[in-house]
Amino acid sequence: MYQIKAVISPAFAEAMALVILIISIISVSIIRFESVPHLPILISLLILFAYGLWKKVPYRDLEKGLVDGAGAGMSAVFLFFFIGILISSWMMSGTIPTLIYGGFTLISSTFFFAIVFVVTAIIGISVGSSLTTVATAGVAFIGMATVLDLSLAVAAGAIVSGAFFGDKMSPLSDTTNLASSIVGVDLFEHIRNMSWTTIPAFAATLIIFGFLSPAATETGFEDVALFREGLLETGLIHWYSVIPLVILILLTLSKVPALLTLAVSSITAVGISLFHQSYGIREIFTILFSGFASSTGIEDIDALLSRGGMESMMFTIALVLLALSMGGLLFTLGIVQCLLAKIESLLKKVSSVIAASAFTAIGINVLIGEQYLSILLTGQAFKPQYDKVGLAGKNLSRVMEDAGTVVNPLVPWSVCGIFITTVLGVSTLEYLPFAFFCLLSPIITILFGFSGKTLSYKHAK
């Protein structure tokens, strides 16, 4: 997309007016009318087309910009297909249920908030979804905090921090795959590079929650015991179920491309599932496409385990293609170039480029309330600037997650903020001061940008 040439040079006032109009349409649609982002983006595409035609840009040039923009996301599309298959195959094999079961064995009354943070992080990595983690394990932990008469705000902060750590660092996460794909960075290289900022944020958060954790009794932990028993009754908890995870880690360390790594791990998981389930070929194909369906009769467990499949990725794939198409038109019409030219004099230092991209991701979250768009639009706008100062693409993908993915739950009117408040019964403003991981991540990434620590340059091998 970054090679898309502008066919016109709009006036700054026109470019700014169009951007404000598009942001307003998307923001109002998502926040006020609770629309999915797809429709306001489609409306924005029509507005950009109308502007281009008004400027006498040939229709074919506009169409080419649209197609070129969408084409930049095709690698992400194929990766998302394999992510959907991996999730459903790991459910079949028991890999994800076994990891969740292991996480719940850590729960005790000592250091309650710290352990909730660690367990939700494990579950978040296992399922690759922060909202699923919050809606299942998070609800159980809020119930436990209520019975133990502990602060619900701190408990919610620990749940959100752990869930979004897991979402950010999981190879199953759509935001993690999206951030790496947008800038053309290998998925596992992206995750490794995020460790430089994520591990310090995780460690600091764990220490803080350790200090905040009061002494408590074992009363109220019956729900966790029931959850573990329910997981055991699925028949999916086995020591050998972690083999697909081990293979994924080994292939990652061997720097095998993400697509092949996901495929091999998925095939292994399907093979392992045959040890404890008598699936037929038709059933396997159905699960890989439509997702795994848990039927334990325990609502929370079924909600946690019923997921995956290629079909589950369609929402994200459609959003990616629409947003990238909009980006293609913004570049074709010279709007992005026009706006960046105004601040280009300020973006000559590595530190200023990183800070500007981080604040842009945060700003999009605040204005629009959508984490996917904060990743997509920040990546589209700042890739050329990172190239100019010689920074490798994985620095941008890291910033997009540090200041994009984990900031969304801190915005009361955002998609994640509204969902979490509804599910946990704790308002965003109540848990915000205690969502330490989400608060520390953008701060650390900006500080590292100014210090120059952990940054990678294009000439580095």
Query: What pLDDT, on a 0 to 100 scale, did the predictor assign at position 192?
Result: 92
- Name the residue with higher pLDDT: 414 or 48: 48
Longest dimension (CA), the chain: 72
Query: What pLDDT, on a 0 to 100 scale, did the predictor assign at position 102?
Result: 78
- Name the residue with higher pLDDT: 57 or 226: 57
Query: What pLDDT, on a 0 to 100 scale, did the predictor assign at position 461?
Result: 41
Lowest mean pLDDT segment, chosen from 89-98, 211-220, 300-309, 412-421: 211-220
Residues of the chain with pLDDT > 70, as a percent, come to: 93
Question: What confidence tier does 402 reach under pLDDT thresholds 50, 70, 90?
Answer: very high
Average pLDDT score, the chain: 85
Q: Which domain holds residue 356?
A: 72-321+343-461
Classify residue 305: in a domain, yes or no.
yes
Classify residue 156: in a domain, yes or no.
yes
Lowest mean pLDDT segment, chosen from 57-66, 201-210, 213-222, 353-362: 213-222
Looking at residues 32-38, what average pLDDT do you find?
83
Classify residue 100: in a domain, yes or no.
yes
Query: What pLDDT, on a 0 to 100 scale, did the predictor assign at position 448?
Result: 92
pLDDT tens for each residue of 189-239: 999 999 999 999 999 999 999 998 776 555 556 666 777 788 888 888 898
Query: What pLDDT, on a 0 to 100 scale, did the predictor assign at position 257?
Result: 80
For the chain, the distance separating the N- and C-terminal CA atoms, rounded to the nearest angstrom, is 25
What is the distance between the alpha carbons of residues 212 and 145, in angstroms, rounded to a whole number?
A: 13
Classify residue 383: in a domain, yes or no.
yes
Classify residue 123: in a domain, yes or no.
yes
Query: What pLDDT, on a 0 to 100 scale, did the predictor assign at position 222?
Result: 65
Q: Which residues are bridge partners to 292 per DSSP? A: 307
Classify residue 234: in a domain, yes or no.
yes
pLDDT tens for each residue of 137-190: 787 778 677 756 788 999 999 999 999 999 899 888 888 988 888 888 888 899
The answer to whether residues 48 and 336 touch, using CB atoms and an 8 Å cutoff, is: no
What is the distance between the alpha carbons of residues 355 and 417, in angstroms, rounded to a whole number?
A: 24
Looking at residues 51-55, what average pLDDT do you find?
94
| Total domains, the chain | 1
- Name the residue with higher pLDDT: 32 or 343: 32
Predicted TM-score (pTM) of this structure:
0.74
Query: What pLDDT, on a 0 to 100 scale, did the predictor assign at position 262?
Result: 85
What is the distance between the alpha carbons of residues 361 and 379, in angstroms, rounded to a whole number?
A: 9
Any alpha helices (H) in 274-413, and if so which ranges? Answer: 281-290, 299-305, 314-332, 335-343, 350-368, 371-388, 393-400
pLDDT tens for each residue of 105-139: 766 667 889 989 998 998 888 878 787 788 767 87
Classify residue 45: in a domain, yes or no.
no
Query: What pLDDT, on a 0 to 100 scale, did the predictor assign at position 198?
Result: 94
Query: What pLDDT, on a 0 to 100 scale, did the predictor assign at position 208?
Result: 95
- Phi then psi for 41, rounded to 5 degrees? -65, -40
Looking at residues 417-425, what average pLDDT do you find?
81
Looking at residues 2-17, what average pLDDT do you find?
85
Burial 251-266, CB ≥16 within 10 A → b, else e: bbeeebebeebbbbbb
Asked if pLDDT for residue 2 goes beyond 60, the answer is no
Q: Which residues are bridge partners to 307 per DSSP? A: 292
Classify residue 42: in a domain, yes or no.
no
